Structure 1
Amino acid sequence: MDYVFEMPKDMLKECENKGTVELFEYNSETYDNEHRKLNKKAFVYLPYGYNTSEKYNVLYLLHGGGFMQEWWLDMFPDTVTILDNMMAQGISKPCIIVTPTFYHDEENKNTHDEAICENFRFELRKDLIPAIESHYSTYASGDVSEESLIKTRNHRAFAGLSLGSMTTYRAAFYNNFDLFSYYGPFSGCCGPFGNHDLEVERICKTLEEGHKNGHELDFMFCANGDKDIAFEEHKDIMGRAVNKSPFLKPGENYDFFIIPGGVHDMKAWQLHLYHALQVFFTK
């Protein structure tokens, strides 16, 4: 892939073939001591011409700290324009994009408890994916049994920015590797207080155990600006993981995209998404 460091201008022009964005509601447990059932929300992007007689790949795409499901598609409608243009021009395959939240509610989004990153694995597996893929036309074909979701993992991706990038590792990669084969961690792995040695160990262990179970990594697309606050820890961890794991193969199933001068902002994250969608669902 030829990387660019600024979003191409034609990606930001209004596209004639527009996809649609709708709000999707589902029920989930909060996994607190009371095991309350909550009504959760996610925004869903459906590509232009979405047809229930066709099957679509799905990208689950997370926000960062302090925001919720509205971040990618509602707060930043130019993200939708970029997606419309990419799919209209054949730069990426038409796919469904789901933007959920790891927070329980509006009050919870003010929490600084990073355990939410790992705890989201339960809701992701038991509630969100089954709700989405029983409602929309995906490769699961409405069968959201665990066996079916594992069988269709190659048609499922997970990506996120900042705290959502940490969640990409913790909820989707370490704990649900059997459900996803594509990953996009944008801006960080463990945060400023994380243990680099532990992260490297978990990455290598996940890939090794996945290989033993017949679950290979199709692609991990890491991305960061070199002026991003999360850059150094992300670069260090992934560099060490590549050196240690035979299952991370640069140029084949792994890359680390770096924006010169890029910082911790939406301009960078949209560019990360632009590149990630060019490698997702290509195998």
Structure 2
Amino acid sequence: MEYVFEMPAKMLAETDKKGTVERFEYDSRTYDEKDEPIHKGAFVYLPTGYDKTKKYNVLYLLHGGGFGEEWWLKMFPDTVTILDNMIAEGLCEPCIVVTPTFYPSEEIMHDEGRPNEDVCENFKTELRKDLIPSFEKQYATYAEGDVSETNLVNTRTHRAFAGLSLGSMTTYRAAFYNNFDLFSWYGPFSGCCGPFGDHDKEVSRICETLKDGYAKGLTLDYMFCCNGDQDMAFAEHKEIMDRAEKESEFLEKGKNYDFFIIPGGVHDMKAWQLHLYHALQVFFK
């Protein structure tokens, strides 16, 4: 794949091979000790010609801080156009994209005093116990409706997780560190631990996750990190991943890892859509 630093114009042109976006709703029992469910939702991109009798790879794709599940596909509908064109041009296989929210409630979304790491890490259980089983029981994925833990682990190579900004931090905390057995493809777009994070701790967690996973026969298909070099999250993200690459024998640049950098790129949707454009050319290959 050849990296580009501006979205190709043809990716933003309307095509007659359009996918669809629909709402998916589910209950989460993660956050209440009394086991009272929270009703939640996600938006779902289904590729053109979606066929319930087939099997599709799935990308779970997260927003950033202060927003919800509407970010990627509703607030920025040109994301849908990019997906349509990528599939039409054969740049990626037809896949399903699910955009949930890591916030359990509107109140927590707007609670500026709540630690970011807390929200990111806490999504791990909802992701595993509520979202993935509910979604993959209903849609045409490689799980084929069998959402037992054993089968979800067995189909992990058909499942990717990516996110921007706070969603990038959640990619590490909820998907990579805590659910490595359910995903083999990762796209952290802008950041690992935030401005106040412990870099030593993050490097250690990355290395330990890989070591433990490989010991269990769970390999990393690809960790596709992305950042603009003028992004406020660039310095910490790059330093952590450079150290992790050196310290882990299981992270090999060009084989199962890369760090895509946009010269002059900042912390904005233009960059994040470009990250998605590149990541989908890597995932599931």
TM-score range, shorter chain: over 0.9
What TM-score results when the alignment is normalised by the length of structure 1? 0.98
Cα offset, 1:33, TM superposition: 4.5
Code of the aligned partner of 2:115: D
Percent identical pairs in the alignment equals 71
Tell me, what secondary structure is at the counterpart of 2:27? strand
Query: Match of 2:71?
Result: 71
Once the two structures are superposed, residues 39-81 of structure 1 have per-residue CA deviations (whole angstroms, 9 ceiling, x without a partner) of 0000000000000111000000000000000000000000000
Tell me, what secondary structure is at the counterpart of 2:245? helix
Query: Match of 1:139?
Result: 142
Tell me, what secondary structure is at the counterpart of 2:220? coil
Distance 1:77 1:234 in 2: 28
Once the two structures are superposed, residues 193-227 of structure 1 have per-residue CA deviations (whole angstroms, 9 ceiling, x without a partner) of 10000000000000000000000000000000000
Code of the aligned partner of 2:203: V
Query: Match of 1:82?
Result: 82
Tell me, what secondary structure is at the counterpart of 2:243? helix
Query: Match of 1:113?
Result: 115
Query: Match of 1:253?
Result: 256
Code of the aligned partner of 2:12: L
Tell me, what secondary structure is at the counterpart of 1:107? helix
Distance 2:44 2:137 in 1: 14
2:30–2:125 CA contact under 8 A, matched in 1? no
Cα offset, 1:190, TM superposition: 0.3
Cα offset, 1:35, TM superposition: 4.2
Cα offset, 1:168, TM superposition: 0.2
2:29–2:37 CA contact under 8 A, matched in 1? yes
Unaligned runs of 5+ in 2: none
Selected match of 1:172 from 169, 172, 175: 175
Cα offset, 1:15, TM superposition: 1.1
Residue 236 (str. 1) matches residue 242 (str. 2): no
Distance 2:79 2:198 in 1: 33
Code of the aligned partner of 1:163: L
Distance 1:172 1:11 in 2: 29
Cα offset, 1:113, TM superposition: 2.5
Residue 162 (str. 1) matches residue 165 (str. 2): yes
Distance 1:113 1:239 in 2: 26
Runs of 4+ off more than 4 Å: 32-35
Distance 1:34 1:145 in 2: 24
Query: Match of 1:267?
Result: 270
Query: Match of 1:8?
Result: 8
Q: 1:254–1:15: structure 2 CA closer, same or farther, 3 Å change rule? A: same
What TM-score results when the alignment is normalised by the length of structure 2? 0.98
Distance 1:44 1:192 in 2: 32
Code of the aligned partner of 1:149: L
Tell me, what secondary structure is at the counterpart of 1:3? coil
Residue 210 (str. 1) matches residue 213 (str. 2): yes
When structure 1 is superposed on structure 2, of 58-67 and 106-115 the one drifting more is: 106-115
1:11-90 matches, cutoff 5 A:
11-90=11-90
Distance 2:58 2:162 in 1: 11
Distance 2:246 2:220 in 1: 16
Tell me, what secondary structure is at the counterpart of 2:106? coil
Cα offset, 1:34, TM superposition: 4.7
Distance 1:18 1:219 in 2: 28
2:31–2:104 CA contact under 8 A, matched in 1? no
Code of the aligned partner of 2:170: T
Distance 2:38 2:172 in 1: 25
Query: Match of 1:181?
Result: 184
Distance 2:227 2:33 in 1: 37
Note the aligned Cα RMSD (angstroms): 0.8
Distance 1:36 1:8 in 2: 47
Tell me, what secondary structure is at the counterpart of 1:158? strand
Q: Report the number of matched residues.
A: 282
Query: Match of 2:199?
Result: 196
